[in-house]
């Protein structure tokens, strides 16, 4: 353990009020309220910080149409600690600081949400901000000022409750490839709702793991057993392995998730039904091909009804 690198955890909390409300309405034993979620996540954060003195953390919240950096371990640039809080002999001050900042920031943001409860969360924003943060923190020019010399081992954990956001398919994929380049593993814990196609791909492509909760009230145990170990430790301990990975994509035209798509050979745009002209690069497709796919004038383009069924195998 002593030679393992200092690890930086970027935690992304999916804080969609609607999804959390639905989650708290689940039948007994499966219900998980936002408050109990936050308590358990705080305990997890504290255990990460307790593992090693140099460990750092940053917490991002994905609120409806918004993403906010809730907390990041004070580095060279930040002087985050508020010394005004009264000292309590029974608490470890650094933990208390993290806990109060994170929970009060979440409450602040939650209260400022007004009409946009239903809107999709700013997960992409949170992901990209997290990556920007990691990029700046591991940048050697900046790092020299942040005292430590041991290599930083950055990873990400997304605690997701929202369904797939197929509208942001391309940005999500772009962030995944950026994480790949930075060698950041993305772990995903699916707390509530159906499996997430794109987050599955994120974990798969970056070498992280995707875990869907079976027992929602045992969240903390899942977090500690599955996601506390640093990457160097993961080689040794039995780690949750990948289940099936769904490699589907979202079409460019309707943002539907498709398993069979029509792809422009020039720019590789994906469409859910045959189109005569590529909307991205304006390429016109040969009439012969379109006929083969059963695309004709009588059929209206763009209603998405003529999916894979009309396609003839070659």
Tokens of 203: 């974990």
Tokens of 267: 């720019």
Q: Is 122 in the site for other proteins (CB under 8 A)?
A: yes
Q: Is 243 in the site for other proteins (CB under 8 A)?
A: yes
d(Cα 226, Cα 14) in Å, to the nearest integer? 18
The dihedral formed by the CA atoms of 260, 269, 160 and 101, expressed in degrees to the nearest 10:
180
Phi, psi at 187, each rounded to 5°: -95, 145
Residues 6+ apart with CB under 8 A from 29: 217
Taking alpha carbons only, the member of 6, 1, 3, 5 closest to residue 54 is: 6
d(Cα 306, Cα 258) in Å, to the nearest integer? 12
Q: Is 16 in the site for other proteins (CB under 8 A)?
A: no
Q: Is 156 in the site for Zn ion (CB under 5 A)?
A: no
> One symbol per residue from 258 to 297: x for binding Zn ion (CB under 5 A), - otherwise; what is it?
------x-xx-x--x-----x-xx-x--------------
Closest distance of CB 265 from other proteins, Å? 5
Q: Could you tell me where the DSSP H helices lie in 113-211?
A: 123-138, 140-143, 169-182, 197-206
Q: Is 264 in the site for other proteins (CB under 8 A)?
A: yes
Candidate segments 27-35, 36-44, 154-162, 277-285, binder of other proteins by CB under 8 A? 277-285
Interaction with other proteins in 129-158: which residues (CB under 8 A)? Answer: 129, 131-133, 135-137, 139, 142
> One symbol per residue from 196 to 235: x for binding Zn ion (CB under 5 A), - otherwise; what is it?
----------------------------------------
Q: Which does 167 bind (CB under 5 to 8 A by kind): other proteins, Zn ion, none?
A: other proteins
> One symbol per residue from 19 to 58: x for binding other proteins (CB under 8 A), - otherwise; what is it?
---------------------------------------x
What is the Cα Rg of the chain in Å?
A: 22
Residue 95 vs 293, nearer CB to other proteins: 293
Q: Which of 254, 263, 301, 310 binds Zn ion (CB under 5 A)?
A: 254
Candidate segments 10-18, 49-57, 72-80, 107-115, binder of other proteins by CB under 8 A? 72-80
Which bin fits 308, alpha (ψ -120 to 50), beta or left (φ > 0)? Answer: alpha
d(Cα 94, Cα 194) in Å, to the nearest integer? 36
Closest distance of CB 36 from other proteins, Å? 27
110 burial type by CB count under 10 A (0-12 exposed, 13-18 middle, 19+ buried): middle
Length of the chain: 314
Residue 232 vs 308, nearer CB to Zn ion: 308
Residues 6+ apart with CB under 8 A from 282: none
d(Cα 16, Cα 159) in Å, to the nearest integer? 11
Closest distance of CB 293 from other proteins, Å? 7
Residue 23 vs 269, nearer CB to other proteins: 269
Q: Is 64 in the site for other proteins (CB under 8 A)?
A: no
Q: Is 301 in the site for other proteins (CB under 8 A)?
A: yes
Q: Which does 209 bind (CB under 5 to 8 A by kind): Zn ion, other proteins, none?
A: none
Interaction with other proteins in 154-193: which residues (CB under 8 A)? Answer: 167-171, 173-178, 180-182
Q: Per DSSP, what are the bridge partners of residue 204?
A: none
DSSP 271: E
Summarize as ranges the residues that interact with Zn ion (CB under 5 A).
Answer: 251, 253-254, 264, 266-267, 269, 272, 278, 280-281, 283
């Amino acid at each position: 353990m002593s030679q393992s690198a200092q690890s930086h955890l970027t935690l992304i909390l999916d804080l969609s009020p609607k999804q959390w409300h639905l989650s708290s309405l689940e039948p007994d034993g499966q219900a998980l309220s936002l408050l109990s979620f936050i308590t358990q996540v705080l305990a997890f954060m504290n255990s990460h910080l307790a593992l090693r003195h140099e460990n750092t953390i940053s917490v991002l919240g994905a609120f409806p149409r918004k993403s906010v950096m809730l907390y990041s371990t004070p580095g060279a640039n930040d002087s985050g600690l508020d010394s005004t809080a009264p000292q309590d002999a029974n608490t470890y001050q650094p933990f208390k600081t993290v806990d109060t900042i994170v929970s009060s920031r979440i409450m602040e943001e939650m209260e400022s949400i007004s009409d946009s409860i239903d809107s999709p969360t700013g997960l992409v924003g949170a992901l990209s901000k997290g990556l920007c943060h990691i990029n700046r923190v591991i940048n050697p020019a900046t790092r020299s000022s942040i005292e430590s010399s041991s290599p930083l081992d950055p990873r990400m954990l997304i605690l997701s409750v929202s369904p797939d956001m197929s509208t942001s398919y391309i940005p999500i994929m772009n962030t995944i490839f950026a994480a790949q380049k930075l060698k950041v593993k993305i772990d995903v814990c699916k707390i509530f709702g159906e499996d997430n196609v794109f987050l599955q791909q994120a974990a798969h492509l970056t070498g992280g793991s995707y875990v869907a909760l079976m027992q929602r009230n045992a969240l903390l145990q899942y977090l500690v057993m599955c996601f506390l170990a640093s990457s160097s430790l993961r080689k040794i301990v039995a780690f949750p392995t990948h289940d099936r990975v769904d490699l589907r994509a979202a079409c460019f035209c309707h943002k539907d998730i498709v398993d069979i798509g029509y792809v422009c050979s020039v720019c590789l745009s994906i469409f859910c039904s045959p189109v005569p002209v590529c909307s991205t690069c304006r390429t016109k497709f040969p009439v012969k091909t379109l006929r083969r796919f059963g695309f004709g004038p009588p059929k209206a383009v763009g209603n998405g009804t003529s999916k894979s069924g009309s396609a003839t195998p070659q």
